[in-house]
Structure 1
Amino acid sequence: MSNLQRTIKNEVVLSGVGLHTGKEVKLTFKPAPENTGINFVRTDLEGHPTIEALACYVTDTQRGTNLEKNGVVINTSEHVLAAIIGEEIDNIIIELSAPEPPIMDGSSKFFVEALEKAGTVEQSAEREVFEVKEIISFKDEETGSEIMIMPSDKYEITTMVDFGTKILGTQNATLKNITDFKTEIANARTFSFLHEIETLLDNNLIKGGDLNNAIVYVDKPLSDETMKKLSKAFKKDSVTIKPNGILDNLTLHWPNEAARHKLLDVIGDLALVGMRLKGKVIANKPGHKINTNFAKKLNKIIKIEKRNNVPQFDLNQPPLMDIHAIMKILPHRPPFLLIDRIIELSDTHVVGMKNVTMNESFFVGHFPGAPVMPGVLQVEAMAQCGGILVLSTVPDPDNYLTYFMKMNNVKFKQKVLPGDTLIFKADLISPIRRGICHMQAYGYGNNKLVVEAELMAQIVKKQEE
């Protein structure tokens, strides 16, 4: 598998009923541009609001992994997300005509089949992968559940479950490679114990269930009253118990199907990290709560690593471009030329440098008693690096000017003082098209992140002004 992002080729539709809401729902998988990620869209609501599949939007894990953003809810997202990860799809739109995806048979099988029917296509942008370098763990002291991830050359998962009942007991399941998801995990159906089903029915919380979309393990005597209640709920003349202790009308795909379904849930919940994982996950007694809390912890670690990933360069080596070469490309001139050197330049990234001296013109009026480089000029310096990147794509850069289009998520982390050496690194978020450069930029000084921003700029021919 290449390291390029993937989306689906064609739209594909599934219909069914939500397990907990009991509502009829149409689910449409749609292709999405590079760097979109996995997005849910509620087509039944005004404005078709979008909820990104990210751990920060998890609000409830009682009966599935539920997301909420600005009051808009997606219930029971995990089976769909697991199928998308299992098919190694990075960018996709999931349109829903109700809050909850269809439960189908309680597994990811039908979602996998739909995605394979839609087909996949590689995109231009590289896939973002979090490569685990050391063991990261999370434990729920209350339940004893624990999940960890350790270094590995691929994404693999092991689940160990202990349900504390004679009927089910202890089970393990392992997925050695995500490419085996379809054959080893996708068909594993959701399950519940009889006492849980009774509680859900009594509280009117399982409106879309029947004996075809959940394995029910009988962990208590089945009274006549319970039999009648189940028969009515599942629209059956009668229900009986199989010799292996599950209600009738279902045959287990594997003896450890429950552990395999828990593994499926882990994959779906960890999709909320928002990028691919390269590491071995070991989950002991996993559940949606600990899975999603672990995803949130991984998000924080990834964010810190990104910010602290200070590029190291030998500044004594001759630069790729000195100030004279820069002035041949950029239209800026002192005192507003804020880049001294270009250290690296490729089709997708640029690294530049600036020496901040006491002689800078802006120190004359910006806190002259305690000089600090203005934040807006730090952003401008990063943008000038981006200008080098986009202007390098045309044969006559001196005939173009660069203009800001927008900036998002600008953050200033440290003061920049006279004597500091700033290193700016900008990476394309998407390929340059029609002279538009969309990039994520970082500025570092004294081995610390000092500024970051998402920037978009466009080059325009001078005569087109």
Structure 2
Amino acid sequence: MSDKQKTLKEEVSLCGIGLHTGHEVTLTIKPAKENTGFVFVRTDLEGTPHVEADVNYVTTTERGTTLEKLGVKIHTCEHVLAALVGCDVDNAILELNSAEPPIMDGSSIFFVEAIEKAGIVEQNANREYLVIREVLNYVEPSTGSEITIIPSDTYEVTTMVDFGTKVLGTQNATMKDISEFKEEISSARTFSFLHELEMLLDAGLIKGGDISNAIVYVDKELTPETAEKLKKAFNKEEVSIRPNGILDNLNLNYPNEAARHKLLDVIGDLALVGVKLKGKVIANKPGHFVNTQFAKKLNRQWKLQKKKNVPDIDIHKEPVFDINGIMRLMPHRPPFLLIDKVLELSDSHVVGLKNVTMNEPFFVGHFPKEPVMPGVLQVEALAQTGGILVLASVPDPENYSTYFIKIDKVKFKKKVVPGDTMVFKIELITPIRRGIVHMQGFGYVGDSVVVEAELMAQVAKNNPD
């Protein structure tokens, strides 16, 4: 199955009202180049400033997630971001002529349908993932909110909500795979409690509301005074309470619609991490604050992973070459053959592995009381891995060898000791020309870089016997 980045085939526009600003707004979602991510563009402001969907630009999370960059704001960004993630899109430009996307019906379904109408196309660049290797979580003690992510081969989300009210009770929702988003999650609408809604109206913070774009759970007495406020705000002649405890003029799409909408919000807020996730998210009483705090934690994890350039490798998968395959390609033999298997191989990169054991002959004389793998042999192992990249490209590798010409920018960052498993990643810096190979190599133990170097080698035909 292809795992390339995707964008829209053509642009598409939606018009509506911003929930909190009350302003009419047109949102145009446009195709974007590879590795763009999601970028908001304010066409109503001088210079059409850009605001990237980056969690580090989050400023407020009251009743929605707000981004701000150099004084330019984007309010309530989470619903359209959830739609993009739910439609499996990686790159998009979102042009707005106001500070807030249209609220539509308070869900993501209108955005999903617009994206599907525009069509989705595959791009050339491969996707990147933040692959969760260990449990990470964030807890907000004041509210009891907690969000956790655990290792998983896919992106899963489970939400649990309990607001301590009889009218809503305890609800759960689960999305096992992002392919379920459209049918199971996207039409879940935003909701509020009557006491919250009344406070927002009194404070003038909900100017684009409509009784059809938010579920209102009635958690207090609907007094004549409150009813008048609601009739005026929603331009309705009458408001009343349904038997299930919500305001009239709206039917629930799902019995657990509140939990599903909270799941939608989690997906939209975690889109701000800036990379696709492979992990199972479990959110207990989630909200925009806890979601975005957790997104910041994941973003830091992603930046650290990018900085280290740690390859996403399953060291237990079927190798491209086992030790016998390596010896068919390479002239080296034990004890100077320093890689055990090759895990990945393409025209421009190779990933190899070495299990470091106390049986290595060099440990006999190299700090025998505190055995450490010699740095020069770590560089040699990098070079041998690079040799695989080169020799696998020729039809008769047994007739060729690779020889060092230059080693540059070598750094040793951590001791390598018996029991370590070293993973070597080599990438071409420039294409192979006239038998000259220029490579960048990294050696890892776990998530740590232990050695790195630039290597230059020459591929030469062996002298005949």
TM beyond 0.5: yes
Q: Partner of 1:307: helix, strand, or coil?
A: helix
**Who is 1:207 aligned against?**
207
Distance 2:144 2:280 in 1: 20
Q: List per-residue Cα deviations over 1:340-365 (Å, max 9, x = no partner).
A: xxxx98445589xxxxxxxxxxxxxx
Superposition pairs of residues 72-221 of structure 1, within 5 angstroms: 72-221=72-221
Given residue 212 of structure 2, which amino acid in structure 1 is its aligned partner? N
Q: How far 1:413 sits from its partner (Å)?
A: 13
Q: How far 1:169 sits from its partner (Å)?
A: 1.1
Q: List per-residue Cα deviations over 1:286-336 (Å, max 9, x = no partner).
A: 000111111110111122233335679xxxx99x99xxxxxxxxxxxxxxx
Contact kept? 1:167, 1:219, Cα under 8 Å: yes
Distance 1:271 1:413 in 2: 37
Superposition pairs of residues 50-449 of structure 1, within 5 angstroms: 50-309=50-309, 346-347=346-347, 349=349, 448=449
Distance 1:51 1:294 in 2: 20
Contact kept? 2:412, 2:452, Cα under 8 Å: no
Distance 1:73 1:59 in 2: 9
Given residue 152 of structure 2, which amino acid in structure 1 is its aligned partner? S
Moved more, 97-106 or 300-309: 300-309
Q: How far 1:427 sits from its partner (Å)?
A: 8.1
Q: How far 1:2 sits from its partner (Å)?
A: 2.3
Give the direction of change, closer, same or farther, for the CA distance of 1:12–1:348 in structure 2 (3 Å limit): farther
Contact kept? 1:349, 1:427, Cα under 8 Å: yes
Given residue 193 of structure 1, which amino acid in structure 2 is its aligned partner? F
Q: Partner of 1:25: helix, strand, or coil?
A: strand
Given residue 39 of structure 2, which amino acid in structure 1 is its aligned partner? N
Contact kept? 1:163, 1:169, Cα under 8 Å: yes
Given residue 260 of structure 1, which amino acid in structure 2 is its aligned partner? R
Given residue 213 of structure 1, which amino acid in structure 2 is its aligned partner? N
Percentage of pairs with the same residue? 63
Identify unmatched segments of 5+ residues in structure 2.
316-325, 331-343, 352-385, 394-408, 414-423, 432-439, 454-465
Q: Partner of 1:279: helix, strand, or coil?
A: strand
Give the direction of change, closer, same or farther, for the CA distance of 1:227–1:449 in structure 2 (3 Å limit): farther
Distance 2:71 2:350 in 1: 40
Q: List per-residue Cα deviations over 1:86-112 (Å, max 9, x = no partner).
A: 000001111011010000000001000
Give the direction of change, closer, same or farther, for the CA distance of 1:260–1:345 in structure 2 (3 Å limit): closer
Q: How far 1:193 sits from its partner (Å)?
A: 0.4
Given residue 26 of structure 1, which amino acid in structure 2 is its aligned partner? T
Give the direction of change, closer, same or farther, for the CA distance of 1:348–1:241 in structure 2 (3 Å limit): farther
Give the direction of change, closer, same or farther, for the CA distance of 1:310–1:151 in structure 2 (3 Å limit): closer
Distance 1:229 1:45 in 2: 34
Give the direction of change, closer, same or farther, for the CA distance of 1:240–1:301 in structure 2 (3 Å limit): same
Contact kept? 1:308, 1:449, Cα under 8 Å: no
Q: Partner of 2:40: helix, strand, or coil?
A: strand
Distance 1:310 1:203 in 2: 49
Given residue 51 of structure 2, which amino acid in structure 1 is its aligned partner? I
Distance 1:60 1:297 in 2: 17
Distance 1:223 1:28 in 2: 42
Distance 2:59 2:89 in 1: 25
Distance 2:84 2:121 in 1: 14
Superposition pairs of residues 3-22 of structure 1, within 5 angstroms: 3-22=3-22
Q: How far 1:270 sits from its partner (Å)?
A: 0.6
Distance 2:224 2:450 in 1: 67
Given residue 8 of structure 1, which amino acid in structure 2 is its aligned partner? L
Q: List per-residue Cα deviations over 1:17-53 (Å, max 9, x = no partner).
A: 0000001100001001111111111111111111111
Give the direction of change, closer, same or farther, for the CA distance of 1:345–1:164 in structure 2 (3 Å limit): closer
Contact kept? 1:191, 1:215, Cα under 8 Å: yes
Q: List per-residue Cα deviations over 1:157-192 (Å, max 9, x = no partner).
A: 110000111111110001111101000000000000
Contact kept? 2:19, 2:207, Cα under 8 Å: yes
**Who is 1:37 aligned against?**
37
CA RMSD of aligned residues (A): 3.5
Contact kept? 1:413, 1:449, Cα under 8 Å: no
Q: How far 1:415 sits from its partner (Å)?
A: 9.3
**Who is 1:463 aligned against?**
none
Contact kept? 2:411, 2:452, Cα under 8 Å: yes
Distance 1:89 1:118 in 2: 12
Distance 1:188 1:301 in 2: 30
Given residue 53 of structure 1, which amino acid in structure 2 is its aligned partner? A
The alignment's TM-score, normalised by the length of structure 1, stands at 0.70
